[in-house]
Amino acid sequence: MLSDRPTFDVRLGTEEKARALRADAVAGLTEHPKWLRPTWFYDAHGSMLFDELSHAPGYYLARAESTVLAEHAADVVADTDVRTLIELGSGASTKTRLIIEAGHEHGTLRRFVGFDVSESALASAAATLSARYPWLDIHAVVGDFTRHLDALPADENRLVLFLGGTIGNLLPPDRAQLLCGLRAVLAPGDALLLGVGLVTDPEAMVRAYQDPDGRTAEFNRNVLRVLNRALGADFPIEAFEHVVRWDAEHEWVQLLLRATRPIEVTLAAVDLTISFTAGELLCTAVSTRFHRAGISAELAAAGFTVEHWWPDGTERFAVTLARAR
Ligand code: SAH
Ligand code: TRP
């Protein structure tokens, strides 16, 4: 039965989200070096900023991924006979349309499930998709994909999209846990379409996060705004500078905020005061770059078989189609 409007399953409500954010902030800000989980950029303002920066000319990853998806969407739907399309970290679900349209043409696609921590992004994507595709049954899960994968609905022929290189924002142990957890809720034959950034020229990798309009810097600093609001904190946003580095040992781009002077910050909601020395760095995200062999081995270890590897023409990004064994 098709429902006539999007349905929502809220696994991470306002209270629960605030609790998780407080716990993560205390854990990361009391360590040396200080760090934050990249999940907390995405309040309503952060999701909007992300959507803008991902369309900026220097951010080649989104463009490369769209090109590959446009080229291979018909192969993906023919290989999977997708009935339920699930998207993790779905955001605005823009590139997703390529798969939805191919799935409709193929005649098998019935349902779309968006899964994101950002309720505002999910609500606006669900509204856009339901207006565009009245034939599509739309469901949204507000949740954390590292904790709430049990919220994914059962069906035959599920295809999970995990795009945007978001998997690279997880640290290696969290990545392994996510892939194993995902495999555990899937059935043999279900599929995963995964987009990953590839190791390429360090300067190009760094430049992708240094757009001249400063959108990425604003997005990076937005996490401090989120903390100020949610934790009653008093980060002086303008005193933190956007820094991007390539870490050749870990093969990830590091997104950092540098304190431009000594700073003391009080986080009232958790009764914590922290201090930054001048020049101290706070790591707000890593964006891992992959090689074909490495990510294929990680997928295999989690119980997936890689069936296709589609790099973009410049070999800076690849989309891989893997099957749950
Ligand atoms: N897939 C989109 C958006 C990528 S940005 C694209 O390719 O453009 C990453 C998305 O993942 C954001 O929408 C963010 O809100 C979401 N996200 C980040 N951490 C998450 C988590 N732990 N659980 C669920 N969603 C998360
Ligand atoms: N998955 C995206 C990436 O790693 C997320 C992202 C894009 C991002 N731009 C950012 C994260 C800027 C932090 C800061 O490329």
**How confident is the model over 189-225, as pLDDT tens digits?**
999 999 999 999 999 999 999 999 999 999 999 999 9
Give every CB contact of residue 139 below 8 A, 6+ residues apart in sequence: 6, 7, 8, 9, 111, 112, 113, 114, 153
In a domain, 3, yes or no: no
In a domain, 22, yes or no: yes
Ligand 2 within 6 A of CB of 255: yes
Residue 183 pLDDT exceeds 70: yes
Q: Is 26 in the same domain as 139? A: no
Counting from 1 in the atom list of ligand 2, the atom nearest the Cα of 164 is 1
Single out the residue of 203, 208, 179 nearest to residue 192, CA to CA.
Answer: 179
Residue 3 pLDDT exceeds 60: no
pLDDT on residue 4 = 67
Single out the residue of 288, 215, 226, 211 nearest to residue 254, CA to CA.
Answer: 288
Average pLDDT over residues 228-245: 97
Single out the residue of 87, 39, 53 nearest to residue 195, CA to CA.
Answer: 87
Q: Which residue is associated with the tokens 């899960």? A: 141
Average pLDDT over residues 91-101: 98
Residue 110 pLDDT exceeds 80: yes
pLDDT digits (tens, 9 = 90+) for 30-88: 999 999 999 999 999 999 999 999 999 999 999 999 999 999 999 999 999 999 999 99
In a domain, 7, yes or no: no
Q: Is 154 in the same domain as 277? A: no
Percentages helix, strand, coil for the chain, rounded to the nearest 5? 40, 25, 30
d(C-alpha 290, C-alpha 325), whole Å: 23
Q: Is 116 in the same domain as 34? A: no
In a domain, 39, yes or no: yes
Q: Is 213 in the same domain as 87? A: no
Between the CA of 90 and the centroid of ligand 1 the distance, in Å, is 6
Q: Which residue is associated with the tokens 């000594």? A: 262
In a domain, 108, yes or no: yes
pLDDT digits (tens, 9 = 90+) for 264-286: 999 999 999 999 999 999 999 99
pLDDT on residue 1 = 47
Between the CA of 216 and the centroid of ligand 2 the distance, in Å, is 8
Task: Please list every protein residue whose CB sits less than 6 Å from any atom of ligand 1.
Answer: 39, 42, 47, 50, 54, 62, 89-91, 95, 116-118, 121, 144-146, 163-164, 166
Q: Which residue is associated with the tokens 């999910």? A: 122
pLDDT band at 95; cut points 50, 70, 90: very high
Ligand 2 within 6 A of CB of 195: no
pLDDT on residue 207 = 97
Q: Is 220 in the same domain as 158? A: no
* Residue-range definition of the domain harbouring residue 34: 15-53+202-288
Contact of 94 with 65, CB cutoff 8 Å: no
Q: Is 88 in the same domain as 156? A: yes
Between the CA of 246 and the centroid of ligand 2 the distance, in Å, is 13
Phi-psi region of 70 (alpha: psi -120 to 50; beta: other; left: phi over 0): alpha
In a domain, 213, yes or no: yes
In a domain, 165, yes or no: yes
d(C-alpha 201, C-alpha 205), whole Å: 6
Please indicate whether residue 1 or residue 61 has the higher confidence score (pLDDT).
61
Q: Is 181 in the same domain as 301? A: yes
Residue 313 pLDDT exceeds 60: yes
Average pLDDT over residues 164-183: 98
Q: Is 79 in the same domain as 95? A: yes
Q: Is 270 in the same domain as 318? A: no
In a domain, 142, yes or no: yes
Nearest CA to ligand 1 atom 22: 144
pLDDT digits (tens, 9 = 90+) for 118-139: 999 999 999 999 999 999 999 9
State the CATH number of the domain containing residue 71. 3.40.50.150
Q: Is 284 in the same domain as 296? A: no
Q: Is 230 in the same domain as 300? A: no
pLDDT on residue 5 = 86
d(C-alpha 281, C-alpha 32), whole Å: 10
N-terminal to C-terminal alpha carbon distance within the chain? 29
Indicate the DSSP class of residue 261.
S
Q: Is 95 in the same domain as 161? A: yes
For the chain, how many structural domains are there in total? 2
